[in-house]
Structure 1
Amino acid sequence: MSKRWRILAVATILWAVLLPGAANAATYTFSAAGKIAYEKMNASAETAVRTRIQAQYAELQSLEMKGEETDKRTYELHDRNELALKAVKLRIKAIDEAAIAKLDGQVKSAQAKYKPLFDSYTALNKRAEAARKLKNKEVNAALKLQTDIMKVTVQLARDDIRAKQDKLKLAKNAAASKAKRAKEPLAAIDSYKPRIQAEKRAASTAKSAGKTLWSSFNAAAKKSNSADASSHLAGLLKLAGQTNAAKQNQYALEQKIADAIARAETLAAA
């Protein structure tokens, strides 16, 4: 085989493996030889047995199709949940962000506005302290008067800053309370995830057992042993039912996650 054809062969295999759905191809599908053996067995079986086998196989195909549909719905819902969860976490983090930023800006603006006043007041107090050491009554009296007058203005400035800081603190506390309430529904998600994994394992175990039993069914069909074939199909139906039940449980848990996210979104927007 030339190098070019080897590359094409490898590319074809990779494409088949990576093709969406390739990994989840139908389990209970006949090969060409298996289909012939199945039809040959049915042709030789008694009418009642043939009717039962055909009904069993039709039900098995229906169950597998329902399982695949459930998988598709679950994967789609899971992807939506992942995106929605990221979005709601960002929304919770940004609760009252604009209002808090505005109040924080007002505090900083007030601090900058009054800084020259505070600096002047500090400098005046230093001058007064220095003057007291000189024991000049007139100078001390003049500086004390200036200090007393400025002290009132400084106190009003401090009160203004403190009032703005109090508003900022209240806004931050309110936002933290809202965020805490909004996060509460999300806490349940951590308990759902291991349950989803458990259901996946249950579905995988049942499907694996089904593959083995499907081989036994095909062997019985090849031997035209309709009684064994029907018995294997009965077992396959039970396993397919277990597989689908586990898949339905996965979807139900993903729906619980979606509900939790929706409640969190509602609380975050309140």
Structure 2
Amino acid sequence: MKNFTALLTALALASAVPAELASAASIEITSTIQSSLDKTIAGATQTQANKINSLYTEFLTLQKQEQDWDSKINTLHNRNKDTSAELSKQAKEIDSAKLAKLEEEITRTRARHQPLLSQYAALNKQIEAARLLNSKSLSALLRIQAAAMKIPVQLARIDISAKVKASQAAKDKASKATKKIRSSLNDIDPINVQIKAKQGAFKTIQNSLSPIWSSFKQGAKKEDTNAVQSSLTSMISLSRQMNAEKESIFKLETKISDALIAIKAQIP
């Protein structure tokens, strides 16, 4: 019996909830509970003592598995959360350096051609003024100058237009890529809804476990072997269901992780 008690104590210590998960704990094996259970087992028949020992060991193992699932889920969930935030940020910044460079090229191109365009615009105003003054000779001279500038002006405008079109095309491409990333991130929302549903199901089972755990403690305190065995049997059944929900949540978080990896591959 002493060896078995030592085993139970070791399992209880192994199943201690990590600090970051402590708030989620609903079961705590205190020394008082352990002492009451030891007395209950000591007063039971050998067959029933063996059964209670087996059930209690299984229950502690299931508790440890639940906490292991919590640790895995929390780690993966936090990683998914960080990855999703980073991808959302990257989606906003797609080709930002390229777009900035293209805008700079537009500014430089306009600045380079501005003297010519300004001169051409001023010349056309002079031509209009000469026409109003009915100065045919001046008008003819100015028109000759304007004709000489026409092709360079057209080339300058074409150059500026090409830069603007290139910039707009790049913006459209980046915008399309950003929308695609955001759409893919939004596609993860239904999985999060499933996770919340699983969390709700887990909470319902957990709430069902609470009164049975109280019955177990009372049974152990009264050294009622039948009550202890019955409570342990029910707690094991519920713990299995809780672990099944935790496993489902982990699989859904894994599904999100895989989706985020695929989304990351879409970013240029």
Q: Same fold (TM over 0.5)?
A: yes
Q: What is the aligned partner in structure 2 of residue 59 from structure 1? A: 58
Q: What is the aligned partner in structure 1 of residue 23 from structure 2? A: 23
> Identity, % of aligned pairs?
32
Instruction: Tell me how far apart the structure 2 counterparts of residues 20 and 176 of structure 1 sit (CA, whole Å).
Output: 40
The 8 Å contact of residues 185 and 264 in structure 1, kept in 2 or not, is answered as yes
Task: Give the match's secondary structure for 2:188.
Answer: helix
Deviates most, 228-237 or 19-28: 19-28
Q: 1:33 to 1:139 in 2, by over 3 A?
A: closer
Superposed, which structure 2 residues align to 1:143-162 within 5 Å?
143-162=142-161
How far residue 208 of structure 1 moved from its aligned partner, in angstroms, is 2.4
**Alignment pair present for 1:220 and 2:219:** yes
Instruction: Tell me how far apart the structure 2 counterparts of residues 121 and 47 of structure 1 sit (CA, whole Å).
Output: 110
Instruction: Tell me how far apart the structure 2 counterparts of residues 34 and 175 of structure 1 sit (CA, whole Å).
Output: 63
Q: Which runs of 5+ in 1 are unaligned?
A: 1-18
How far residue 266 of structure 1 moved from its aligned partner, in angstroms, is 0.7
Instruction: Tell me how far apart the structure 1 counterparts of residues 135 and 220 of structure 2 sit (CA, whole Å).
Output: 121
Structure 1 length as normaliser, TM-score? Answer: 0.86
Please tell me the residue identity of whatever aligns with 2:197.
A
Q: What is the aligned partner in structure 1 of residue 14 from structure 2? A: none
The 8 Å contact of residues 205 and 242 in structure 2, kept in 1 or not, is answered as yes
Q: What is the aligned partner in structure 2 of residue 47 from structure 1? A: 46
Superposed, which structure 2 residues align to 1:191-206 within 5 Å?
191-206=190-205
Instruction: Tell me how far apart the structure 1 counterparts of residues 97 and 162 of structure 2 sit (CA, whole Å).
Output: 19
**Alignment pair present for 1:122 and 2:121:** yes
Superposed, which structure 2 residues align to 1:133-172 within 5 Å?
133-172=132-171
Q: What is the aligned partner in structure 1 of residue 71 from structure 2? A: 72
The 8 Å contact of residues 26 and 210 in structure 2, kept in 1 or not, is answered as no
Instruction: Tell me how far apart the structure 2 counterparts of residues 33 and 72 of structure 1 sit (CA, whole Å).
Output: 28
Task: Give the match's secondary structure for 1:95.
Answer: coil
Deviates most, 175-184 or 66-75: 175-184
Q: Deviations over 1:217-250 (max 9, x none)?
A: 1222233322232121111011111211222222
Deviates most, 123-132 or 49-58: 49-58
Q: What is the aligned partner in structure 2 of residue 9 from structure 1? A: none
Q: Which runs of 5+ in 2 are unaligned?
A: 1-18
How far residue 160 of structure 1 moved from its aligned partner, in angstroms, is 0.6
Instruction: Tell me how far apart the structure 1 counterparts of residues 172 and 31 of structure 2 sit (CA, whole Å).
Output: 70
Instruction: Tell me how far apart the structure 2 counterparts of residues 86 and 224 of structure 1 sit (CA, whole Å).
Output: 54
Superposed, which structure 2 residues align to 1:173-252 within 5 Å?
173-252=172-251
How far residue 193 of structure 1 moved from its aligned partner, in angstroms, is 2.4
Number of residue equivalences: 250
Q: What is the aligned partner in structure 2 of residue 263 from structure 1? A: 262
The 8 Å contact of residues 185 and 263 in structure 1, kept in 2 or not, is answered as no
Instruction: Tell me how far apart the structure 2 counterparts of residues 33 and 154 of structure 1 sit (CA, whole Å).
Output: 95
Instruction: Tell me how far apart the structure 2 counterparts of residues 181 and 33 of structure 1 sit (CA, whole Å).
Output: 59
The 8 Å contact of residues 118 and 154 in structure 1, kept in 2 or not, is answered as yes
The 8 Å contact of residues 121 and 150 in structure 1, kept in 2 or not, is answered as yes
Please tell me the residue identity of whatever aligns with 2:250.
Y
Q: 1:132 to 1:146 in 2, by over 3 A?
A: same
Q: What is the aligned partner in structure 2 of residue 96 from structure 1? A: 95
How far residue 26 of structure 1 moved from its aligned partner, in angstroms, is 6.0
Give the aligned CA root-mean-square deviation in angstroms.
1.8
The 8 Å contact of residues 212 and 235 in structure 2, kept in 1 or not, is answered as yes
How far residue 202 of structure 1 moved from its aligned partner, in angstroms, is 2.0
Please tell me the residue identity of whatever aligns with 1:125.
N
How far residue 59 of structure 1 moved from its aligned partner, in angstroms, is 0.8
Please tell me the residue identity of whatever aligns with 1:78.
H
Instruction: Tell me how far apart the structure 2 counterparts of residues 98 and 21 of structure 1 sit (CA, whole Å).
Output: 43
Structure 2 length as normaliser, TM-score? Answer: 0.87
Q: What is the aligned partner in structure 2 of residue 11 from structure 1? A: none
Task: Give the match's secondary structure for 2:94.
Answer: coil
Q: Deviations over 1:110-145 (max 9, x none)?
A: 111111211111111111001012222211111111
Off by >3 Å, runs of 4+ in structure 1: 19-22
Please tell me the residue identity of whatever aligns with 1:198.
A
Q: What is the aligned partner in structure 2 of residue 16 from structure 1? A: none
